[in-house]
Amino acid sequence: MKRSFSITTDYINDEFKALRAQPEDTEDVMSLLMETAEWLRSQGSSQWNALLKGEDSHNTAEAIQRGDVFVFKKGSDVAGMVILMSQPSAWDVHLWGSKAHAGDGALYLHRLAIRRKYAQSGLGRAILQWSSSGIQFEDKHIVRLDCGAKNATLNAFYVRNGYTFVGETDGFSTYEKAVTHQSV
């Protein structure tokens, strides 16, 4: 799990510790993803439904092994998580086209999830902010993400949090934001 990064902000919202997920966090991370997928379905969204069928397109357990998953803990409780990939996945290449390649200087953000009991605490916004300013990756200067183009709430959330709309591909909106570095 050798990765060239430095966490520059250890705590967000003064109570959630930012850590790279370890193999022993896998069960809690998968539980959080399932909880989020079930909640999304209860809200009428089909986003992440594949998880409920046992399909994990991000292969989260392997992503943890690679060091791509970061968790935010309150005590021992995994309150939130995000995947930050330093190389674009096949999905990212599909959405971003020729912009997505190994030396593109981008981090690809996926699977931002918050345990429901921490909803409305600002944790989602804080994790999104942390992803562009609380961690530094060598040779990375931009964070890219995508979401369903028809999800007005999520699209507005990203814009409110400083992400710039880049375009739409196959029903998915793409956004990016410059990385800002805080001193250690």
Are residues 158 and 145 in contact, defined by beta-carbon separation less than 8 angstroms?
A: yes
In whole angstroms, give the CA distance from residue 63 to residue 86.
Answer: 11
Query: What is the band of 19 on the pLDDT scale with cuts at 50, 70, 90?
Result: very high
Is 20 exposed, middle or buried (CB count within 10 Å of its CB: 0-12, 13-18, 19+)? middle
Q: Which residues have C-beta within 8 Å of that of residue 69, sequence separation ≥ 6?
A: 20, 21, 25, 29, 60, 63, 81, 82, 83
Instruction: Band the pLDDT of 183: cuts 50, 70, 90.
Output: very low
Confidence of residue 114 (pLDDT cuts 50, 70, 90): very high
User: What pLDDT was estimated at residue 21?
Assistant: 97
- Superfamily of 10-178 according to CATH: Gcn5-related N-acetyltransferase (GNAT) (3.40.630.30)
According to the model, what pLDDT value does residue 181 have?
67
pLDDT in tens, 48-90: 999 999 999 889 999 999 999 999 999 999 999 999 999 999 9
Average pLDDT over residues 95-101: 92
The answer to whether 73 and 16 are in contact (CB under 8 A) is yes
148: nearest Cα among 157, 135, 137:
157
Q: Is the pLDDT of residue 3 over 70?
A: no
Q: Which residue(s) pair with 73 in the sheet? A: 17, 78
pLDDT at residue 1 is higher than 60:
no
Q: Mean pLDDT in the chain?
A: 92
Question: What are the residue ranges spanned by the domains of the chain?
Answer: 10-178
